Amino acid sequence: MSKKLTKRGEDYSKWYNELVVKADLAENSGVRGMMVIKPYGYAIWEKMQAELDRMFKETGHENAYFPLLIPKSYFNKEASHDDGFAKECAVVTHYRLKTSEDGKEIIVDENAKLEEELIIRPTSETIIWDSFRKWIQSYRDLPLLINQWSNVVRWEMRTRLFLRTAEFLWQEGHTAHETKNEALEEALKMQGVYADFAENFMAMPVIKGEKTENERFAGALSTYTIEALMQDGKALQAGTSHFLGQNFAKAFDVKYTTNEGKQEFVWATSWGVSTRLMGALVMTHSDDFGLVLPPKLAPIQLVIVPIYKSDEQLEAINEKVEKMMVELKAKGVSVKYDKRTTHKPGWKFAEYELKGVPLRIAIGPRDLENNTIELARRDILSKEIVSQENIAEKVKTLLEKIQDNLFNKALDFRNNLITEVDNFEEFKEVLKDKGGFISAHWDGTSETEDQIKNLTKATIRCIPLDTKDEEGICVFTGNKSSRRVLFAKAY
RNA sequence: CGGGGUGUAGCGUAGCCCGGUUAUCGCGCCACGUUUGGGACGUGGAGGCCGCAGGUUCGAAUCCUGCCACCCCGACCA
Strand B: which residues 233-252 of A lie within 7 A (CB)? 237, 240
Q: How far is CA A483 from CA A222, A228, A431, A449, in A?
A: 18, 21, 20, 15
d(CA A163, CA A466): 28
The nucleotide minimizing the C1' distance to residue A382's CA is B38
A316 Cβ nearer than 7 Å to chain B strand: no
pLDDT at A155: 85
As a rounded value in angstroms, the CA-to-C1' distance for A307 and B24 is 39
A344 Cβ nearer than 7 Å to chain B strand: yes
A156 Cβ nearer than 7 Å to chain B strand: yes
What are the residues facing A463 on neighbouring strands? A210
Q: HSE-up of A58 (CA within 13 Å, CB side)?
A: 9
A3 Cβ nearer than 7 Å to chain B strand: yes
pLDDT at A188: 98
A278 Cβ nearer than 7 Å to chain B strand: no
The nucleotide minimizing the C1' distance to residue A84's CA is B77
Domains along the sequence of chain A with CATH:
12-70+124-285 (3.30.930.10), 300-400 (3.40.50.800), 418-488 (3.30.110.30)
DSSP string, A200-262: HTS----EEEE--GGGS-TT-SEEEEEEEE-TTS-EEEEEEEEEEETHHHHHTT-EEE-TTS-
**φ, ψ for residue A481 (rounded to 5)?**
-145, 150
- The answer to whether A24 touches A40, Cβ cutoff 8 Å, is yes
Strand B: which residues 95-154 of A lie within 7 A (CB)? 154
A226 Cβ nearer than 7 Å to chain B strand: no
**ipTM higher than threshold 0.95:** no
pLDDT at A102: 66
As a rounded value in angstroms, the CA-to-C1' distance for A3 and B21 is 38
A47 Cβ nearer than 7 Å to chain B strand: no
Longest dimension (CA), chain A: 83
As a rounded value in angstroms, the CA-to-C1' distance for A360 and B17 is 54
The nucleotide minimizing the C1' distance to residue A453's CA is B75
As a rounded value in angstroms, the CA-to-C1' distance for A70 and B48 is 46
A448 Cβ nearer than 7 Å to chain B strand: no
The nucleotide minimizing the C1' distance to residue A305's CA is B37
Closest CA to A459 of A479, A471, A434, A476: A476
- The answer to whether A252 touches A124, Cβ cutoff 8 Å, is no
pLDDT at A3: 58
The nucleotide minimizing the C1' distance to residue A123's CA is B78
As a rounded value in angstroms, the CA-to-C1' distance for A403 and B23 is 53
pLDDT at A2: 43
DSSP character for A470? -
List the nucleotides on chain B closer than 7 A to a protein CB.
1, 11, 26-28, 35-40, 69-78
Kind and range of the H or E element at A333? none
pLDDT at A17: 86
A224 Cβ nearer than 7 Å to chain B strand: no
- Whether the bond into A143 is cis, omega within 30 of 0: yes
A88 Cβ nearer than 7 Å to chain B strand: yes
The nucleotide minimizing the C1' distance to residue A370's CA is B37
pLDDT tens for the 491 residues of chain A, in order: 345 788 888 888 888 888 998 899 988 877 778 888 999 999 999 999 999 999 999 999 999 999 999 999 998 888 777 777 888 888 888 898 887 776 666 778 888 999 999 999 999 999 999 999 999 999 999 999 999 999 999 888 788 889 988 889 999 999 999 999 999 999 999 999 999 999 999 999 999 999 998 888 888 999 999 999 999 999 999 999 999 999 999 999 999 999 999 999 999 999 999 999 999 999 999 999 999 999 999 999 999 999 999 999 999 999 999 999 999 999 999 999 999 999 999 999 999 999 999 999 999 999 999 999 999 999 999 999 999 999 999 999 999 999 999 999 999 999 999 999 999 999 999 998 899 999 999 999 999 998 999 888 899 999 999 988 999 999 999 999 999 999 999 98
The nucleotide minimizing the C1' distance to residue A346's CA is B38
Question: Burial level of A295, CB count in 10 A (0-12/13-18/19+)?
Answer: buried
Q: HSE-up of A349 (CA within 13 Å, CB side)?
A: 15
**φ, ψ for residue A344 (rounded to 5)?**
-85, 160
A328 Cβ nearer than 7 Å to chain B strand: no
As a rounded value in angstroms, the CA-to-C1' distance for A33 and B13 is 26
Q: CB within 8 A of A320, min separation 6: which ones?
A: A363, A368, A388
A351 Cβ nearer than 7 Å to chain B strand: yes
Strand B: which residues 353-382 of A lie within 7 A (CB)? 353-354, 362-367, 373-374, 376, 381
pLDDT at A103: 66
pLDDT at A1: 36
Closest CA to A227 of A28, A467, A448: A467
pLDDT at A157: 79
